[in-house]
Structure formats: structure tokens, C-alpha cells
């Protein structure tokens, strides 16, 4: 059997994910993403209710002028995370295999999945995490 296919999501996910509340402003979400260097935030209200990506935020921002930077545009916006997030996102269990995570990402055309155990977000697995596994497994073969 090939070891790579049996590797579990929990071994490669980012733990203690940065999450945000649905009532947070888009400016707050944007600043949090920049500060934590992430492109997606699970949206939590007691349990996972959605996900918001950097693309969602940028698409949800009214374009006022080329002279105004993104952060200023976001501050001018009254919009909240709940206005632009994806509700009921595709998730994966921490004990699922990396292959299952990759298949799910391909099937739903997403680049990351919240990792959920008993309704609680315990991590995030992204394409980058899977690429890291591939590179490390190739290095180990050499």
C-alpha cells in the first residue's frame, strides 16, 4: 500500500485556525487575514456556519476610485462577513485521508477546507499543505 494515501488530514492541517464572527466587518476580516497571513477564515458562531475568503472580501468591496486603497474602501463599507461568506462550507474530518481531502477540493473547486470534529473547527487544510506533503514524500523517496 502507498503510505501517502493513508496520511491523515490532522497530520498536515494548520491547527488552531484563525476564525471570525459573522458580524465582523469586512475591514476586520481583511486586516486579520493580512496579519495572520491567511486567505480564508472559518466563520464561527458557536460552531462553523461559513467560510470567507480574501476573494469574497475583495469582490464584496464597493470600488470607489483607483486613488483609494483596499483597506480604506473596506473601512468605508458597512458590509459584514455574513454578507459575503459562503454558508455551509464543504468540510473534512481530521481523521480523513489527505487523498479524501484532495478529492473533495477538486470536486468542489475549493483551495482549502475547514477541518471539523463534532461541529468545532479544529484546523484548516489547504492546497499548500497537500503540496508540502507531496514535496516531502518525494524528498523521502530520493
Q: Tell me, what CATH number does 22's domain have? A: 3.10.580.10
pLDDT score of 1: 41
For the stretch 66-103, pLDDT in tens is: 666 777 776 667 889 999 999 999 999 999 999 999 99
User: Could you tell me if 121 and 46 are in contact, meaning their C-beta atoms sit under 8 angstroms apart?
Assistant: no
User: Can you give the residue range of the structural domain that contains 21?
Assistant: 3-141
Q: What is the pTM of this model?
A: 0.84
Q: Predicted confidence band at 60 (pLDDT cuts at 50, 70, 90)?
A: confident
Domain tally, the chain: 1
Per-residue pLDDT tens over the stretch 116-141: 999 899 999 999 999 998 888 888 77
Amino acid at each position: 500500500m502507498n503510505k501517502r494515501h493513508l496520511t491523515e488530514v490532522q497530520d498536515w492541517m494548520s491547527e488552531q485556525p484563525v476564525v471570525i464572527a459573522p458580524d465582523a466587518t469586512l475591514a476586520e476580516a481583511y486586516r486579520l487575514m493580512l496579519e495572520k497571513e491567511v486567505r480564508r477564515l472559518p466563520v464561527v458562531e458557536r460552531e462553523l456556519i461559513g467560510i470567507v475568503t480574501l476573494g469574497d472580501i475583495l469582490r464584496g468591496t464597493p470600488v470607489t476610485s483607483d486613488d483609494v486603497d483596499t483597506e480604506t474602501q473596506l473601512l468605508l463599507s458597512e458590509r459584514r462577513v455574513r454578507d459575503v461568506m459562503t454558508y455551509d462550507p464543504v468540510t473534512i474530518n481530521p481523521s480523513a485521508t489527505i487523498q479524501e481531502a484532495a478529492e473533495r477540493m477538486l470536486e468542489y473547486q475549493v483551495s482549502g477546507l475547514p477541518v471539523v470534529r463534532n461541529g468545532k473547527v479544529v484546523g484548516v487544510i489547504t492546497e499548500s499543505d497537500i503540496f508540502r506533503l507531496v514535496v516531502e514524500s518525494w524528498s523521502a523517496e530520493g
